[in-house]
Amino acid sequence: MGKRVQRTPEGKVSKTSDKDTKRQSFNGANSFIESVKEYLDKPPNKTTVSMRKSDESIGRRIVQFGVPAPGTEQNYVQEIWEAINPNSTAAHIWKRNLDSAIEYLSTTTLVWRALHLSLLNGAETVSVIYEPGGYFTGSKEDDEVTKELRLRYYACDIFPNLEFVEAKVSKGAVHAERQYDENRCPGRSIGVGGILWSAGSVGGFLTTPEKDKFFGLSCHHVLLPTKPAETAEREKKDEKEPWEFSAPEFLDVQGVHQGPYDTNEAEVIIVQPACGDHRDNLRRAQEMKVQYENLLSDLFEKHEFFGTTPPKADVDKLRFYLRNVEESLAAYSSFNREFGKLCYTSGYRIDPTTDHTLDWGLFQLSEDAQAFNAILTTDAAPSWGKLAESPVPITGIAEPAEMQEAFKLGRKTGGTFGVISGVQDGVRLKEHDRDSREWCIISKSKTPFILNGDSGSLVLNQALQVVGIVTSGCDIRNCTYFTPIKLVLQDIKDRTGLDLQFI
């Protein structure tokens, strides 16, 4: 069966003799720069594709990762994915057949997670995305299902490509000094105090009409995360950082999908940046401090050995770098990371009218927290000239529109651009008891629109109006799912009585 694999280049380990050690320390900075340059200069990972002749006749391919397919390297073709036009014949047929196609897939043994339509190199492509390890259990069932999908829903002349893709469709739980700015803005790293294994993005900030209360908006699964199994094993080896908050006990249970937050439960402190990000920032800064101290010491030792004076420019440069790192460490350690306290979340729900995911969370900002709904400078696409100004305020809210350009600013990938698809996807997440219909964004570049850690980011249109909030995505097909912001705000009002608006 044809397979498509992605290879990850392995890092090389160089060994040196004891005689070379001192010489390497003198050139430590240059070696570090060269190693980074070598990594960046490596060619991008290639993905290989192969299909059986029987698959070619029905335009099908099976996409699996991690298992090499013999003789497929020469078949590499660059893939360009684009959003589908809502006025196309394929889009009309897709919308008409989506419910019945999902109902049919649910009768098979395939553990499917999303049914997605987009253009692959200009050709309409249906992607049936399934859970890793969740392929058909029947020996001939894949062929039977493919024929049924082709016959009843996705004819070859309208949908040239049909693929079964092994990938994760999940709710994912940019380190920089700006994370320690007292003026908090959308897209910053947030998490639960005491939890090192989960982080997400704060979307933006809301207030009441009287402006007497202020809230941060993110996702339910960011503010009440589910502890994965692998985390429990890793935590046994990790030592608790002495500076860290205490995690709520009810979140320390493995594999539990939390319901809406109950105010009678333990208090949940929201911090910024998230605990794991803060720990990593401290460790990186401490490692850099040691590196610069060693380089400075080696520089003096080298010239003392030869009876010469170190160049003032070299000394000043290293001391400048060392001083900057020390100042960063001091800023990280003294920063008041407490951002607010959790007050409401949606739980994992699907709106009964629209079938869209409801996955939101609110935390009330601390009294001394300063928050602004402004986008800081980012690399703007040509059609997004407003973003070149800094800071740029969010201008309001609006409904999403098919084929509309979209922008988001998140913790993991920063600012990214995409296009809202002309059709909605059918999605079945394990947190929900049934399938949903989701608005989908296709990235405009090879860079993913989101990665794990970007959940909670706001989606904006070119007028810089908020149209939605990121809730989940697919790790292969580069599709991002979001819920319209007006639906979210209405659900918040229905559930909490709060009539909120962006600050």
| Tens-digit pLDDT profile for residues 215-242 | 999 999 999 999 887 776 666 666 666 5
Cα 160 to Cα 115: distance, rounded to the nearest angstrom: 16
Q: What is the pLDDT of residue 69?
A: 33
Q: Does residue 501 surpass a pLDDT of 70?
A: yes
Least confident of 134-148, 161-175, 200-214, 398-412: 161-175
pLDDT per residue as tens digits for the range 452-462: 899 999 999 99
Question: pLDDT: is 377 or 440 the higher one?
Answer: 440
> What does the pLDDT average to over 150-159?
94
Q: d(Cα 106, Cα 104) in Å, to the nearest integer?
A: 5
**446: CB partners within 8 A, 6+ apart:** 44
Of 23, 27, 75, 68, residue with least CA distance to 49: 75
Tell me the pLDDT band of 172, cut-offs 50, 70 and 90: low
**Total H helices, total E strands in the chain:** 10, 28
pLDDT in tens, 314-355: 999 999 999 999 999 999 989 999 999 999 999 999 999 999
Cis peptide before 225 (omega within 30 of 0): no
Q: Which CATH number fits domain 177-273+338-502: 2.170.150.70, 2.70.98.30, 2.40.10.10, 3.90.480.10?
A: 2.40.10.10
Distances (CA, A) of 356 to 284, 350, 491: 40, 6, 12
Query: Which has the higher per-residue pLDDT, 339 or 2?
Result: 339
Q: What is the mean pLDDT of residues 154-173?
A: 85
For 382-408, write each residue's pLDDT tens digit: 678 778 777 889 999 999 999 999 999
Long-range contacts of 334-339 (CB under 8 A, 24+ apart): 335/180, 336/368, 337/193, 337/271, 337/272, 337/273, 337/278, 338/193, 338/269, 338/270, 338/271, 338/366, 339/184, 339/190, 339/202, 339/216, 339/270, 339/271, 339/272, 339/363, 339/365, 339/366, 339/369
SS (H, E, C) 79-90: CCEECCCCCCHH
- pLDDT for res 274: 93
Give the whole-angstrom CA distance, residue 199 versus residue 218: 11
pLDDT at 60: 65
Q: Residue 489 has what pLDDT?
A: 98
Task: Flag whether pLDDT at 6 surpasses 70.
Answer: no
| pLDDT higher at 247 or 381 | 247
182 — pLDDT class (breaks 50, 70, 90): confident
pLDDT above 90 covers a percentage of the chain that reads 56
Per-residue pLDDT at 46? 37
Q: What is the pLDDT of residue 28?
A: 41
Residue 237: its pLDDT value, please?
63
Residue 253 has pLDDT above 80, yes or no: yes
**50, 2 in Cβ contact below 8 A?**
yes
Work out the angle between the directed axes of helices 312-334 and 275-306 (0-180°, nearest 10).
Answer: 160
pLDDT recorded at residue 493: 97
The 10s digit of each residue's pLDDT in 422-470 is 999 999 998 988 899 999 999 988 788 998 899 999 999 999 999 999 9
Residue spans per domain, the chain: 53-167, 177-273+338-502, 276-334
**Rounded mean pLDDT of the chain?**
82
Q: Indicate if the pLDDT at residue 108 is higher than 80.
A: yes
pTM over 0.75: yes
pLDDT, mean of residues 24-32: 41
Summarize the confidence of residues 149-169 as an average pLDDT: 91
Q: Is the pLDDT of residue 211 over 80?
A: yes
Sequence letter at residue 17: S
Amino acid at 351: D
User: Is the pLDDT at 261 greater than 60, yes or no?
Assistant: yes
| Average pLDDT value for residue range 43-62 | 47
Per-residue pLDDT band at 105 (split at 50, 70, 90): very high
Confidence of residue 76 (pLDDT cuts 50, 70, 90): very low
pLDDT at site 171: 73
